[in-house]
Structure 1
Amino acid sequence: MQPQADVETTLLGPILPDRECGDCTACCTELTVNTPEFAKPAGTPCIHLSDKGCGIHAIRPRICRTWFCAWRRVASLPDEARPDRSGLLVSLNFVDRPQNCLEGVSIHVRMLTGSDAIANGMAATVLDGVCDQLVPVWFSDGSKKMLMHPDTDVARFVLSGDAAPQDLQDEVAAWREHYAVFGANH
């Protein structure tokens, strides 16, 4: 049983049959892997990564066989949003001890080293493609992590527990209800 895969499918959708990783190996370097079978720190290339891709692809660890970036799941992301083309790696993020309710389960858009995704507009395109549901979206440019969705006013009321103004009450209530399991006030 793989609960994270179920959450990923529920929140991001199933694997799209017409999208393949191809030459993209961004996840093999960018992500932290910490499973009993295999571990590596974020920002460090996998020991099995070669100039031709995964050196053990046929027998790669389970996490590598079952994990897929959001580009492989979110149909609204254009083909150019594949991580090696866009300079952005988008994934569902799970934080064991979140600082607040908007960090427990969220979409994380990571800008890869050397990316010009902000300047060329791809970051805006990708953010538009994933900021459309009750899932927090964080953007990291390598130096800081910023909450992009919900917007600042909604997030402030969700996190503070304060009464929201009339025009935000329904949205704030929906976020609070959806993320109550993570505790709104940390």
Structure 2
Amino acid sequence: MRQTDPDLETALLGPLVADRACGDCTACCTELTVDTPEFAKPAGTPCIHLCDRGCGIHAVRPRICRTWFCAWRRIARLPDDARPDRSGLLVSLNFVSAPQNCLEAVSIHVRMLAGSDAIANGMAAAVLDSVCDQLVPVWFSDGAQKMLMHPDNDVARFVLSGETPPASLQDEVAAWRERYAAFGSRR
């Protein structure tokens, strides 16, 4: 997590869903990197303020912790059971400052948490179906590898290569290129 413009997150993921709350879920407190001037921690490491009842400094927690929300809190079409502590999946908007390609710069990242059975029970498919419908790249990681799930491989190949796509893909490839031109087609 980095301090980002909350309006960008709202534009890409939507506003907070009124009837969803973090409750006992603290997945982001362990799984994500936090890199802000006021607080930092590496990914995969529990926050030093995390205790058996959740955040030990909740009333005075850092700004990033007060303003950042996972995609389950923002995307109403995600299943209710997709809350990270229930689903074994943490879905978030991801910002990469030095992306390998334009589809990594700003994307949705679906992370499978350790011990999750989200693939076997179908939750991973349900979540991916819910987020792979916009002009926002979607990456899935299972801890061992990171895979681009959206756009599909044919579209991604033409977006990244700069080659002329077949007529059947021209409009879709053009839309992706236009949206992500600011990040360059290759790095």
Aligned to 2:123: 122
Which secondary structure state, in structure 2, belongs to the residue aligned with residue 107 of structure 1? strand
Q: Quote the offset at 1:35 in angstroms.
A: 0.4
Q: Normalising by the residue count of structure 1, what TM-score does the alignment of the two structures yield?
A: 0.98
Show structure 1 runs of 5+ residues with no match. Answer: none
The answer to whether the 8 Å contact 1:96/1:104 transfers is yes
Q: Quote the offset at 1:185 in angstroms.
A: 2.6
The answer to whether the 8 Å contact 1:28/1:49 transfers is yes
Aligned to 1:164: 165
Q: Find the aligned partners of 1:43 and 1:164 in 2 and give their Cα distance.
A: 40
Aligned to 2:149: 148
Q: Find the aligned partners of 2:4 and 2:30 in 1 and give their Cα distance.
A: 24
Which secondary structure state, in structure 2, belongs to the residue aligned with residue 10 of structure 1? helix
Q: Find the aligned partners of 2:167 and 2:106 in 1 and give their Cα distance.
A: 27
Q: Find the aligned partners of 1:61 and 1:19 in 2 and give their Cα distance.
A: 21
Q: Find the aligned partners of 1:37 and 1:74 in 2 and give their Cα distance.
A: 28
Amino acid at match of 1:169: Q
Amino acid at match of 1:77: L
Matched, 1:61 2:62: yes
Q: Find the aligned partners of 2:125 and 2:17 in 1 and give their Cα distance.
A: 22
Aligned to 1:80: 81
Q: Find the aligned partners of 1:170 and 1:185 in 2 and give their Cα distance.
A: 20
Which secondary structure state, in structure 1, belongs to the residue aligned with residue 134 of structure 2? coil
Q: Normalising by the residue count of structure 2, what TM-score does the alignment of the two structures yield?
A: 0.97
Q: Quote the offset at 1:105 in angstroms.
A: 0.3
Which secondary structure state, in structure 1, belongs to the residue aligned with residue 103 of structure 2? coil
Amino acid at match of 1:68: F
Percent identity, aligned pairs only, is 81
The answer to whether the 8 Å contact 1:161/1:185 transfers is no
Aligned to 1:4: 5
The answer to whether the 8 Å contact 2:100/2:186 transfers is no
Hey, which bits of structure 1, 4+ residues long, moved more than 3 A?
Answer: none
Q: Would you say how many aligned residue pairs link Structure 1 and Structure 2? A: 185
Aligned to 1:108: 109
Show structure 2 runs of 5+ residues with no match. Answer: none
Amino acid at match of 2:87: S
